[in-house]
Structures are given as structure tokens and as C-alpha cells.
């Protein structure tokens, strides 16, 4: 970080006289290992558009974003950033940023429009991803490909409820994965099965704020659905890892893992054992739910078993064998992280469909202090100390190399800014600098292996239920014209990574 860029700190982190637990501070830019890689991330539905172009089938997000009344701010991803038709331009722009990697996802219903294992393959969809992969490699950008980033084929929900039928979904996901490995795996060396299974399970099948929109209000059993969905994800992930390891990895020499998201949780009252326990419990309900079976080959965390009882599915003997067999194959821990929250233990009995461990997430602690400056999203605060603590928590529990697969923020008020104001994204630059310094300290002071970093996002895009209101990109997109304009943060990241890696040479 160029410290001079942030001398006028009050103008960079403007707040309403909030008091913070740990004020973001100016720090010397710290080094990163010379082989540390960096890049940017996106997801298919958020940028591609081409909703029905060249034979693409309908996904649950095509359905969800067209519901009336709207649950996505009256907006949808039919066109999005039109990446499907502007792919070469976008890759050229990426290359100008000097990225090493690009994390993207494959739209399942673009390559298998109906989604099922016996359904026809759409060769036009295959051709698009082949062109994209080749275009990236021609510019020395390595693709990291996520198989599933929230956009299940709608037909699989119509047929059997998708994730709610573990056996059927597992079989269809296996075939989808085999197709991708066989068509793209000669060039793709980094695979991710699922992006953020917690969000798929809870936001899609409990609160219903994301596709497919299942909630108690829509007549669904929120006591059991999220846990069944999570179980399907864990088992189908392990099954696909085994397929890759036995059928493809010996020849293709790639790697595979899963990406988990998570806040770090500080206790609401740092002097209370009750609230300290609540913070730990929240981490286990959020992260350990998936990470313990996937990375350790173990049952779900004991606190989940104790509190959820029969609501939480049991692993069969065969499933536990599969988890133990595949746990060591996961190449690294993929971490999506944005912010930190306080965890407050609730004194009243939990709701029948509680999914938190009877813990409330709050922005203010018992002393009325915030965690840090607020970004363009009320829940996302600048809290690099919490990020470093989460890196330590994950490393201590799973002892796997970590890749930061998403990290970023929208600037305060960015959705109302002019183009000139938006590209001058000093708040985002400061956020990136502080979080990169947290990574450096975790590596050199805490002994944690962190291998790489992907900024969210390569460009402004359709941010799910927020529509186009939240701008996370390092590239500005004018949605009326689809013109792309680099923000200053893109060149900050380019310069910063070059300088940080030089310092270790």
C-alpha cells in the first residue's frame, strides 16, 4: 500500500462519528511470497447474460429473478454484463490488469440445458467455455473453474427438488462434472465443486431470499430442508472429488476443492464465557458444518448434533467411508471472506427452525462499539483484524493451504456515484490494502500458508437479490451501454502485488 494515498484518512473512511473496536490503521506495505498468485472472480449468472442464447436452458436464477413481485430489485440477469458476447474484450481487460488467475463458473444449464445425466449436451455452450479457456491461456491467465455457483438447472427442481433428493442430485452432478472434466480438464488445472454451500442451504432453503426462494412463507419445511440440502452438497462434493481423483487427475494433473464463505465472529461481550462460546458455535454452524466432513472426513460438529438432533441428517457407513477417503484429496481451503460480526448468545429458547445455534449476529458490541467503517453494504465493515483471526481459525482447525477465492467491498454510496466518482474508488483501495496486509502478517508472523487471492469482483455485475445496486467491481460497468471502465483499484492491485512480491525476491 502506498501510505501517502491514505493521508487524508477522514475523507477515505467517512463515518457518522461511530466508535470502532479496532480502528483501521496505516501500515507499511508488507511482502508476499514470490509464487503468490492473484486475480479476480466472477460467477456465470452474474455476468454472462445470454439467458436463452444458443440453446441455454433455464436455471433457478432465471426463474427467481422474474418472480412477481420481484425479489431482485426489479432486475434480472438476462443481459447482465453481456460477457457471453463480450468475452474476448473482457479477457483483454483482465490481462491489462496483470492478473495471474481468473476464477469463473460454468452455467450448468448452458452446457446441459435440462441438467440431467441422460439429457442432451449443448455443444454451443461447450464451445463458449472452450473459447473462454483458450482465450485466457493465450494471455497467460490461469482459469480456476467453479462447477456450481448457485444456478442449478430449473428442470432438476421441477423433477425432484434438486438438492432435496440426495441420490438423484448426486448422480446428475457427477455427470455434469464428468462432462466438464472431459471437455475442459486438459487445460484447466484448478477445479472447485461448490461455491458457498452455506448460502445455497440457508439463503436458498431457509430465509428464501435467494433462489430457489424456499422459506416457511412459501410453504417449505425450514426445520429440515437446509440440513438436507447441506448434506447433499457434502456427499456430492466428495463423490465428484473421487471421480476426479480416480478418472481424470492421473492424466490431467489438476487439483480440486470446495469454496466456503464465512465471517469471523467476535464475542458480543469479550469478558463473557457465554458470548465467547456463542462466537465459536457460530463459526462451527457456519463453517464447520461443511469443512469438518469435507476436510477432516468427520461427522458434523458436535454442537450441531447436540442442538439440531434429528433435524441434522446422519452419515451412513458408506458416506463416512467416502468422506474419509476423499478428505486428503482436497487441494486447499477456498475462502470467501468479506467482514466480521459480533456473536451474541440468545437467552430465550431457539426457534423450531433455528439455524444459527441460537446466536444473534450484530454489528455493535455490548459497549456500543462497531467493528469498523461501513462499506456500501450495511453488513460489510472494514475489519482486517477479524480476517487475520479467521485465517488462524481455519489453519488451526484444518491445517490446509488457503486460497482467498473472494474478497472485496462496494464503496459507500457507489451506486449513486457518477462514473468519475466511481472509478476513483479510494475506499475500496484502502480495504484491499488492509486485507492484503492481514494476509502478509498471517503468512510471515503466524506461519499460515496462503497461496493466492482473488478480488471480488472483476467487474460490477448482477448482485443477486440486490440486483445492480451494489457495485463490487474493480471495473465499472455502465449498464445502459455495457461500457467497461477500469477503476483505480484495478491498477492499485496490479502495482501492489508486483511490489509485494518483489520485496521477497
| Catalytic residue numbers, as ranges | 196, 406
Beta-bridge mates of residue 37? 452
With beta carbons less than 8 A apart as the criterion, state whether 136 and 142 touch: yes
Residue 199 in contact with residue 210, Cβ under 8 Å? yes
* Cell output for 378: 450495511
- Tell me the three cell numbers of residue 148: 456450481
Distance CA 110, CA 479 (A): 23
Give Cα separations from 427 to 31, 107, 112, 362, 498 (angstroms).
Answer: 22, 32, 41, 23, 21
Strands of 214-355 (E only): list them: 255-261, 264-267, 333-336, 340-345
Torsion of CA 381, 386, 387, 391, to 10 degrees: -160
- Cα 164 to Cα 109, 142, 175, 233, 254: the distances in Å are 19, 34, 18, 10, 30
In sequence order, the 6+-apart residues with CB closer than 8 A to the CB of 69 are none
**Measured distance CA(99)–CA(93) in Å, rounded:** 10
Which residue is listed with cell 455443444?
123
Q: What does the block give as the cell for 236?
A: 456430492
The closest of 433, 456, 393, 440 to 36, measured between CA atoms, is 440
**Distance, C-alpha 78 to centroid of its chain:** 22
Closest CA relative to residue 398, chosen from 342, 468, 462, 328: 328
Under a CB-based contact definition with an 8 Å cutoff, are residues 202 and 226 in contact? yes
Which set of grid coordinates corresponds to residue 278? 456463542
Distance of CA 18 to the CA centre of its chain: 29
Nearest Cα to 235, choosing from 322, 325, 332?
322
Distance CA 435, CA 64 (A): 34
Instruction: Please tell me the distance from the alpha carbon of residue 30 to that of residue 110, in angstroms, as a whole number.
Output: 42
Amino acid at each position: 500500500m502506498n501510505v501517502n494515498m491514505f493521508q487524508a484518512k477522514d475523507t477515505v473512511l467517512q463515518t457518522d462519528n461511530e466508535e470502532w473496536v479496532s480502528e483501521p490503521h496505516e501500515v507499511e506495505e508488507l511482502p508476499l511470497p514470490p509464487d503468490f498468485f492473484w486475480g479476480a472472480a466472477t460467477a456465470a449468472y452474474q455476468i454472462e447474460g445470454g439467458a436463452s442464447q444458443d440453446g441455454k436452458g433455464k436455471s433457478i436464477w432465471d426463474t427467481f429473478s422474474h418472480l412477481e413481485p420481484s425479489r431482485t430489485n426489479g432486475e434480472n440477469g438476462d443481459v447482465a454484463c453481456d460477457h457471453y458476447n463480450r468475452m474476448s474484450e473482457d479477457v483483454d481487460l483482465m490481462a491489462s490488469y496483470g492478473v495471474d488467475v481468473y476464477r469463473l463458473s460454468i452455467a450448468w444449464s448452458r452446457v446441459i440445458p435440462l441438467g440431467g445425466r441422460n439429457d442432451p449436451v449443448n455443444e454451443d455452450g461447450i464451445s463458449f467455455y472452450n473459447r473462454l479457456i483458450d482465450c485466457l491461456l493465450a494471455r497467460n491467465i490461469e482459469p480456476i473453474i467453479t462447477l456450481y455457483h448457485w444456478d442449478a438447472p430449473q428442470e432438476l427442481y421441477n423433477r425432484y427438488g434438486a438438492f432435496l433428493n440426495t441420490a438423484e442430485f448426486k448422480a446428475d452432478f457427477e455427470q455434469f462434472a464428468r462432462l466438464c472434466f472431459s471437455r475442459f480438464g486438459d487445460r484447466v488445472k484448478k477445479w472447485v465443486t461448490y461455491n458457498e454451500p452455506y448460502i445455497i442451504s440457508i439463503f436458498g432453503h431457509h430465509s428464501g431470499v435467494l433462489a430457489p426462494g424456499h422459506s416457511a412463507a412459501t410453504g417449505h419445511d425450514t426445520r429440515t430442508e437446509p440440513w438436507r440440502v447441506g448434506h447433499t452438497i457434502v456427499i456430492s462434493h466428495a463423490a465428484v472429488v473421487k471421480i476426479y481423483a480416480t478418472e481424470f487427475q492421473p492424466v490431467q494433473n489438476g487439483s480440486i476443492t470446495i469454496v466456503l464463505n464465512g465471517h469471523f465472529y467476535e464475542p458480543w461481550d469479550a469478558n463473557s464465557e457465554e458470548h465467547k462460546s456463542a462466537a465459536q458455535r457460530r463459526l462451527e454452524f457456519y463453517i464447520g458444518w461443511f469443512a469438518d466432513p469435507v476436510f477432516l472426513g468427520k461427522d458434523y460438529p458436535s454442537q450441531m448434533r447436540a442442538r439440531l438432533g434429528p433435524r441434522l441428517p446422519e452419515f451412513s457407513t458408506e458416506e463416512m467411508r467416502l468422506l474419509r477417503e476423499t478428505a486428503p484429496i482436497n487441494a486447499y481451503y477456498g475462502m470467501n471472506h468479506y467482514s466480521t460480526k459480533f456473536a451474541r448468545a440468545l437467552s430465550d429458547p431457539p426457534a423450531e427452525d433455528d439455524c444459527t445455534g441460537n446466536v444473534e449476529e450484530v454489528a455493535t458490541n455490548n459497549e456500543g462499539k462497531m467493528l469498523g467503517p461501513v462499506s456500501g453494504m450495511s453488513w460489510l465493515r472494514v475489519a482486517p483484524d477479524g480476517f487475520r483471526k479467521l485465517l488462524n481459525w481455519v489453519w488451526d482447525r484444518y491445517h490446509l493451504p488457503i486460497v482467498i477465492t473472494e474478497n472485496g467491498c462496494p464503496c459507500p454510496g457507489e451506486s449513486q456515484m457518477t462514473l468519475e466518482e466511481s472509478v476513483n474508488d479510494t475506499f475500496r483501495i484502502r480495504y484491499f490494502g488492509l486485507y492484503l496486509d492481514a494476509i502478509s502478517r498471517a503468512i510471515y508472523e503466524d506461519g499460515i500458508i496462503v497461496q493466492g487471492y482473488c478480488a471480488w469482483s472483476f467487474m460490477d455485475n448482477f448482485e443477486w437479490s440486490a440486483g445492480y445496486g451494489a457495485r463490487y467491481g474493480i471495473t465499472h460497468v455502465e449498464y445502459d451501454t455495457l461500457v467497461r471502465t477500469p477503476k483505480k483499484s484495478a491498477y492499485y492491485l496490479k502495482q501492489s502485488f508486483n511490489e509485494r512480491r518483489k520485496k521477497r525476491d
